[in-house]
Structure formats: C-alpha cells, structure tokens
Amino acid sequence: MSPSLYNVVTTLNVGGTDVNGRTTLTGFRKAEFRGGAGKGGVYINGRFVFLLGFAQRSSNEWAGLGEAVPDWMHDYHANLIRGANSNYIRWMHISPQRQDVISHDRYGVVNVAPAGDNEGDTTGTRWTQRLDVMRGTMIYLRNNPSVFFWEAGNSGVSAAHMKDMADVQALWDPKEKGLRGLGDRDMDDAGGAQYAQWFGTMVAYDPGNLGSGYFRGYSDAYRDQGPIIEEEDFRDEAMRGIWDDYTPPHLGGFKPGPLDTYHWQSESFIVGDSTGSGQVARINAWVNLENIRNTTPANSRYSAYASIYFSDSDADGRTQSSSVARCSGKVDAVRLIKQIYYSFRVAGNTQPDIHIIGHWTYPAGTMKTMYVLANTPSVELFVNGTSQGKSSKPTDTYTFSFPGIAWASGSVKAVGYDASGKQVCQDELTTAGPAAAIKLTPTVGPNGLQADGADVAMFDVEVVDANGQRRPDDEDKIDFAMTGPGIWRGGYNTSVLASTNNTYLNTEAGINRVFIRSTLTPGDITLTATRTGLTAGKATVTANAVNVVGGLL
C-alpha cells in the first residue's frame, strides 16, 4: 500500500464572515469486509489485500526511553514494519498512541484499535467504562485512515455487549461512513456475530480448531460472514545476540535456565529444530502465495496474520529469566533487527527476494548447515565462488537448506533463480577480520536534533575490523562518555538486569544502540566509545535552537 494524505480545511462561516476553522490531515479509502470462501477478506479500494504483520503492545516502548520518544522515532518504527513487507498491526489491548497511528497513516499500516481490556468480559461499571473508552477511541481516531478495525475485547464478550459496542459505533463512527469494522478476538458467543464485521483469533492455525467449533480458532460459519484475522500468533522467543550452535562465545547455542520459557537462538527461531517447530512453520502456513491469492476455500481461511510481537517489550515482566524483556520481537527493544525479521520480508515480498541466515565468521574447522530464505523456485549456494549445490523450493516454505557446508574464510553467496533458471536475486556475506575499532553512527530526525528537551539522538555502536566490517561474535564491554548539552539515556543489554541508563554496555552480535536526549540548550553533543585495545569511536551531533515563547515551544 502506498498511501496519500490530504489537508482538509473546514471553515465555519457566519453571515458571510469566516469565524473559525481547522485543518485535518487525513486520507480517503474504501474498506470492505467480505465473507465467503475464495472471495471473502479485507478489500481496500476494491482490491483484496492480505494483511501480514504483528501484534504489539500499545505502549510501544523503547529500552532506555520508555514511551517518551519524539514523533520521528514513531515514523522510524513504522518504516521498519513496512521494510519487513508488512502492513498490519494489532494493538494490544488498549487504544494505541495517537502518534503511532499518525505514522501508520503515512506508511500504510492497517491498525486494529481496541478500547480497554482485562483479558475477559466485564459487568457493571467496568463494562460501562470500556464502552466510554471505545467511544473516546472512535472520536479520537476516526479521522485516521489507517484504522480499519475497532476491537470490542481481547477475549470474547457476550452478545449483549457486542450490541452495546455496535450501538456506540452506530452513533460515533457509523460503519457505512467510517468504513471500519467492529469485532473481537474470540467470538465465543455466536449470538454476537450479527453485530460484527470481522472475527479475531489467537494461535489459530491449528488443524484441531478448523471447523464449526470455536475456541481461539477458526470457524467456517464466521469466515462465511466476514474476514477472520489472526491477532497474536506464536509467542515463542529468541534473543537477538545468539546466532546459532557454532558461534563463540555461545558454542552449542542458547542454554535455557530453569526459569526460561524459551530455547531458541536466531537460526533455530526461524528454521525450527528436530521437532519441526519454529517461527518459520507459522510463516510458511500463513503467507504462501496461494493464501494471498485467496482463490480457493482451502486457501482463504484467513485475511490477516499477526505474529506477536514486532519489538521486544517489557510486557508481562522479565525479572527472573535470562532475558529482561519479552523477546518475541522481530527487532529488539532498541529496534535493532533480528534474523527473524528477514523471514517476514522475504515471505511478504511480491518481488524476488533472498537472505542468508546468520553470518560468515566462524572458527576454523566449522561445518554446518547453511540456511537461505528466498521466495524463488530454486537457490544455489557458493563458497568462495564454488557451487555447493542447487536446491529446489520445498512445499510451502521459504527456507532452503544446504547441509555439510565447510566454512572457509572469504565469502558465501546465495543466488535465487526464477522458473526459467534466470538469476533474479542474490545475497552475499563475507568474513570479518580481527576486531580493530569502535564505529559510532548517529541518527537524528529529518530536521536534525532539536534543543526542545524532548528530542533524541540515537547512536549505533559497532565493533569492526580494519575494513569497517562488523564482528558478528563480539559481545564485550564498551564505555561511553558524553560532552555537551544532552541527557544520557543509554540503551540496554538483553540479558542484564538494570542495564538501562548506564554509561557502559556490551555489544550483542557486534552491535548495540544508545540514546541521548536533548535539553533546552543548543550546541554540539559529542559521544565517545572506548575499549582497551580498540580505536575509539567518536561522533558529534548538533542540537539546534528552537523558538520558545513564554516557556512554550
């Protein structure tokens, strides 16, 4: 989707004189929620659109900063979502931040907007309060074209309560005008179906749940009435910084502790293990092209898929586990990309796309299976220019396996071919040399860093070799020093308690990210990163003066 937004000017005229007015930034689209096998689904401007994306906590917080991030960082987050060829966010379990919705208007990310929820239906004042929140949410977000779905509950509500919600919608955002649908995640009271335009599920792609029965699963009856959208599938987890079984210092991969609820590393999180489990199993089942074409009853069950979460989150608490954040994300809590991110990018791409999972800097004597993500019919793997064989695409998968690959310093390249045998895409990784320096890369908003006391500069910190290539196995301590008119916010380490806001951090897979908040004083802010034995990194950003009148920006 490539959205266009417009400024709509509304003027109040009394007796030929304009007495008031306002400008609203919005967009125009037609949304339809059709039922039926092979023809049902979500349609935008008359065209069927398969929604691929993520469930995300409405807090949408960043490590070291929480929710206090400037507008451009909401745009940065939305751009990452679209970079994964995704177009859909189901916010959990309360109304999203307005700025996130505005960013999604710009980038073309469809939103599910809940009211407020406590994991179940309620009664009395608590239900009245939820209706009040939904009314406020509708008023607040009804001019945002990226909002497609109002959600009555994270869990099923009664038929009477669905009618209550429908009455609120009819008054404040009539579906015929707002072109938005009402539903909830678990329509376990079939009497409420008459008031819904869509039906949500959780962990739904389970053969045991396909049919007329309904518990967090699929129902033919509901599918024939309106779109069924998956809202938060697959809660398994993996930290960004542990590659595979062959990369020091984690030879053998992740070793779960007694309190850990997960056991994956970056590679196995995608390709699974000996049991056949893994995130890729979900992606393969949901995003194969037959599903997107929506042509047959067998391949039109769902209209949307949301994997939980997009970014690692402080949600649900993590004080005794190996990770301090719930790490189901496709990016970590400072939005550094994990390997699983590329699974979504490849699977959702309508053009040829390919990605080699992992890196190519291993100890001498390493022999392993190399995995390639691709949406092409076949893939060929090369090590230092020598073919290691060609693999044809397995059924319903985007993962190509090349077992028994002997590592050799140099390069590994994967080439994707179309059905005629023509090369249409490639990806290549090279071996990094010994760690030589620390590299700092600053990022600020499109107008530069503003000295408004709220803006943020973020700095990527990498350990690189003499040619500037990142060392993928580095995870040692780096010390930071800042000068100038800024407030140090730092970053975090995935598996270290109380690591936020410290003036030191370890790299994870050779990289980390830290933040500095501006003050009301303009001037240069310089960050220096040091470690004994490495050339220090240094970067400077300028906080630009802003106009303050009477204490207000």
Q: What is the CATH number of the domain that holds 468?
A: 2.60.40.10
pLDDT, residue 527, reads 98
Helix (H/G/I), strand (E/B), else coil: 279: helix
Residues 419 and 521 reside in one and the same domain: no
pLDDT in tens, 360-372: 999 999 999 999 9
Helices 279-287 + 340-347 axis angle, to 10: 10
Give the distance from CA 434 to its chain's centroid: 33
Nearest CA to 221 among 196, 245, 239? Answer: 196
pLDDT, residue 534, reads 98
Provide the annotated active-site residues. 232
Q: Does residue 257 lie within any of the structural domains?
A: yes
Tokens of 510: 């050779």
Beta strands in 491-536 (DSSP E): 504-506, 511-518, 523-530
Residues 480 and 361 reside in one and the same domain: no
Q: Domain range holding 406?
A: 354-430
pLDDT, residue 318, reads 64
pLDDT, residue 289, reads 36
pLDDT, residue 281, reads 52
Q: Does residue 552 lie within any of the structural domains?
A: no
Q: What is the domain-level CATH number for residue 334?
A: 3.20.20.80
Q: Does residue 550 lie within any of the structural domains?
A: no
Nearest CA to 240 among 313, 339, 356? Answer: 339
pTM of structure: 0.93
Angle at 1 between CA 172 and CA 196, to 5 degrees: 35
Residues 373 and 494 reside in one and the same domain: no
Residues 219 and 244 reside in one and the same domain: yes
- The total of structural domains in the chain comes to 3
Among residues 404, 430, 456, which one ends one of the domains?
A: 430
| Burial of residue 30 (number of CB atoms within 10 Å: 0-12, 13-18, 19+) | exposed
Beta-strand relationship, 378-383 and 411-417: antiparallel
Question: 530 near 538, Cβ under 8 Å?
Answer: no
Residues of the chain with pLDDT under 50: 207-208, 276, 285-293
Distance CA 181, CA 189 (A): 18
Residues paired with 406 in a beta bridge = 367
Q: Does residue 553 lie within any of the structural domains?
A: no
Residue 462: what are its φ and ψ, rounded to 5°?
-125, 145
Residues 447 and 332 reside in one and the same domain: no
Tokens of 83: 């970079």
Q: Does residue 549 lie within any of the structural domains?
A: no
The radius of gyration of the chain from alpha carbons, rounded to an integer in Å, stands at: 25
Residues 59 and 85 reside in one and the same domain: yes
Helix (H/G/I), strand (E/B), else coil: 373: strand
Among residues 347, 371, 396, which one ends one of the domains?
A: 347
Among residues 379, 404, 430, which one ends one of the domains?
A: 430
